[in-house]
Chains A and B, each alone.
Chain A
Amino acid sequence: MNWRYLVPLGLFLVLAGFLGFGLNLNPREVPSPLIDKPAPAFRAALLADPAKSLTQADLKGKVWILNVWASWCAPCREEHPLWVAYARNSPVPIYGLNYKDTAKAGQAWLQQLGNPYAESLTDPEGRIGIDYGVYGVPETFIIDRAGVVRYKHIGPVTPEALRDKIDPLVKRLANG
């Protein structure tokens, strides 16, 4: 047997390896340039009371989760029960960002499905969303005491992602 016949096979295996690796990547998960950068500044009216507003500076000094959601977003509905359950034992507050939604629809949604959020900020024009690089609602950010973005999850959180990634990081930041 001539070893040369094995060359195409070897090349094929290398190619198949690369293609297989590529198939298992999720093209929707684009690494965020915000990781380890300060959370972008915002001033947002609260969904519960539009007369009041909150800025990212108000949240400095505590670890918080920012969950971007909207009443028109079907995957948000899918992940919502997980947040409702997580909020019961969460060591840190969860803030919602009601993205490109109306106050009425957002409030009705929370009334119907439960409200895991310490507060929901409103972003009717999607301007805060652009600053946070939001492109696929729901998205979730973890921000540390210094106001630095430490983690971003794109798309609905799964029980596994919550248990294996988000919860350990939140606990580590909250205790650290």
Chain B
Amino acid sequence: MVERLLILLAALLLALPAAAKEAETVATDPALEARMMVLAVELRCLVCQNQTIADSHADLAVDLRNQIRDMIAKGQTDDQIRQYMTDRYGDFVLYKPPFKPATALLWVGPPTLLVGALAALFLMLRRRMRASPDDFDPETQIPADGASDVSQAGSAR
């Protein structure tokens, strides 16, 4: 019995720091917190630009997480919250920017490069396949004077 009590006490003590950490996040509702985190991982923290608002400890990220909590509590939709952020910080705040003329190159560029490179590779390989085997003979590639250089080096020794 005493043993059990001790274990319980230890568990409670261990839980203390976790509870203290929870206190800084205002939300008490786990569902709200989960939804906030889902949104926060899509949003860039502009203070430390390679982190999301969910990751960052910057003051601004903390404020924006609180802002998202408030907006969820007020019953706003995810789209409304995303719109709120882009109205203030621009598309840059979204890790997944929308497809529009200004971002077309961003979305289309890499696949275009990949298709282009694959097409070039395919054409080159096909040309090699069709080339006659003589084209790959190394001796015909070395120019005559190059060959004489080698023989001169040999005779000088």
Contacts and interface: CB of A to CB of B under 8 A. Distances in A.
**Chains A and B bind each other:** yes
Interface of A: 27-28, 30-34, 100, 125-126, 130-133, 135-136
A56 to B, nearest CB: 15
Contacts of B92: 30-31
Contacts, number: 36
B89 A30 contact: yes
A33 B46 contact: no
B88 interface: yes
A31 B90 contact: yes
Contacts of B67: 130
A132 B87 CA distance: 9
Interface string B53-70: 000000110011001000
Contacts of A130: 63-64, 67, 88
Nearest to A72: B59
A33 B86 contact: yes
Interface residues of B, number: 15
Contacts of A132: 88
A148 to B, nearest CB: 15
Nearest to A32: B90
Contacts of A133: 88-90
B54 to A, nearest CB: 16
Nearest to B67: A130
Contacts of A131: 88
B89 A33 contact: yes
21 contacts: A30-B46, A30-B90, A31-B92, A33-B86, A33-B87, A33-B88, A33-B89, A33-B90, A34-B88, A100-B59, A125-B63, A126-B60, A130-B63, A130-B67, A132-B88, A133-B88, A135-B46, A135-B60, A135-B89, A136-B46, A136-B47
B47 to A, nearest CB: 6
B103 to A, nearest CB: 13
Contacts of B87: 33
Interface string B84-105: 0011111110000000000000
Given A30-B46, A135-B60, A136-B46, 12 more contacts: A27-B49, A30-B92, A31-B92, A32-B90, A33-B88, A34-B88, A100-B59, A126-B63, A130-B67, A133-B88, A133-B89, A135-B47
